[in-house]
């Protein structure tokens, strides 16, 4: 390694090539780091967007289910038969039993 350094330091053209190569390597490392940061930022943004969409979808499903349960409670309170409540709400007997505390 010392012999190469001595050889390079004596030849102006070799020194210029060496500096050019070092600059190229430094630029490549900088570009790689910048690309990683950009990729991470894009990934985080994409993940947040997907998370929001999933949360909204889950919230909509929960809201629809809660609305059906409220209707079912009212129907049962008015004396409508369980089989009709199941038919009109689309809820299962199990779901109704858990949520309305009816057998």
How do residues 67-87 score in pLDDT, each as one tens digit?
Answer: 999 999 999 999 999 999 999
CA distance 101 to 90: 18
- Residue entry with tokens 């689309």: 90
Mean pLDDT of 48-70: 93
Tokens of 17: 């090539």
> What DSSP string describes 45-62?
HHHHHHHHHHHHHHHHHH
Q: How many CA atoms lie within 13 A of 92 on its CB side?
A: 3
* pTM, rounded to two decimals: 0.50
> Half-sphere exposure (CA, 13 Å, Cβ side) for 71?
14
| 17-43: pLDDT as tens digits | 888 999 999 999 999 999 999 999 999
């Amino acid at each position: 390694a010392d012999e190469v350094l001595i050889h390079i330091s004596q030849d102006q053209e070799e020194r210029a090539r060496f500096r050019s190569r070092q600059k190229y390597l430094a630029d490549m490392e900088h570009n790689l780091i910048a690309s990683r940061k950009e990729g991470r930022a894009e990934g985080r943004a994409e993940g947040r967007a997907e998370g929001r969409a999933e949360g909204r979808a889950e919230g909509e499903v929960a809201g629809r289910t809660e609305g059906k349960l409220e209707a079912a409670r009212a129907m049962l309170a008015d004396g409508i038969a369980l089989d009709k409540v199941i038919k009109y709400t689309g809820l299962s007997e199990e779901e109704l039993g858990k949520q309305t505390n009816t057998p």
